[in-house]
């Protein structure tokens, strides 16, 4: 996963995570990258400095269940909110997203799992999806 600082042609700055640099390029070329503030599809990467974090204490001092850095705390809040406000559809994510897009089932917030090829096909078909920067709860220790 890679995080980019982005900016639309209206000057709004935001960031997003991508599977790879090529994934960003494909989404941008397909007009799938839009500014969350104004909806503009003219989005560009901004110049970024590498994210270097200071050394921390050994993992035993900071268990994964207790976020210790601001980034970990932000991801924990994002995860909690996502799990509270959306329905987990498991490995059926791609099929359910497609049914919602085609109007076969009511639209609602969902999250789940999809194979890379399934996610790629959804994007190519114009169905908006985004990768999450964490694994589903059932896959963690």
Tokens of 23: 């994934």
* Average pLDDT estimate for 91-102: 94
Please say whether the beta carbons of 73 and 67 come within 8 A.
Answer: yes
Res 135: pLDDT: 79
Q: Hunting for tokens 């994210």 — which residue is that?
A: 51
Mean pLDDT score of the chain, rounded to an integer? Answer: 84
Please say whether the beta carbons of 108 and 100 come within 8 A.
Answer: yes
Q: What are phi and psi of 10, to 5 degrees?
A: -95, 0
Q: How many CB atoms lie within 10 A of CB 134?
A: 14
Q: What single DSSP character describes residue 54?
A: -
Between CA 111 and CA 93 the distance in angstroms is 7
Does residue 141 surpass a pLDDT of 50? no
- DSSP per residue, 2-32: EEEEEEETT--EEEEEES-HHHHHHHHHTT-
Please say whether the beta carbons of 6 and 46 come within 8 A.
Answer: yes
Q: Which tens digit of pLDDT belongs to each residue from 37-94?
A: 898 888 888 877 666 666 655 555 555 567 778 888 888 898 899 999 999 999 999 9
Between CA 112 and CA 88 the distance in angstroms is 5
Confidence of residue 21 (pLDDT cuts 50, 70, 90): confident
pTM (predicted TM-score): 0.51
Res 50: pLDDT: 66
Percentage with pLDDT > 70 across the chain: 85
> Whose CA is closest to 131, among 17, 44, 6, 22?
17
Res 51: pLDDT: 63
* Average pLDDT estimate for 6-23: 89
Between CA 120 and CA 114 the distance in angstroms is 10
Res 132: pLDDT: 87
* Average pLDDT estimate for 101-116: 93
Please say whether the beta carbons of 119 and 95 come within 8 A.
Answer: no
Percentage with pLDDT > 90 across the chain: 33
């Amino acid at each position: 996963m890679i995080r980019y600082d982005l900016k639309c042609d209206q000057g709004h700055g935001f960031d997003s995570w991508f599977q790879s640099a090529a994934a960003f390029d494909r989404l941008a070329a397909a007009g799938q990258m839009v500014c969350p503030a104004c909806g503009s599809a003219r989005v560009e990467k901004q110049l970024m400095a590498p994210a270097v974090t200071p050394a921390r204490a050994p993992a035993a001092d900071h268990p994964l269940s207790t976020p210790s850095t601001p980034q970990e705390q932000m991801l924990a809040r994002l995860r909690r909110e996502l799990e509270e406000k959306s329905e987990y559809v498991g490995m059926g994510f791609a099929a359910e997203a497609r049914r919602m897009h085609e109007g076969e089932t009511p639209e609602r917030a969902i999250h789940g799992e999809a194979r890379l090829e399934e996610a790629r096909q959804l994007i190519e078909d114009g169905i908006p999806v985004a990768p999450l920067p964490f694994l589903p709860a059932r896959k963690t220790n």
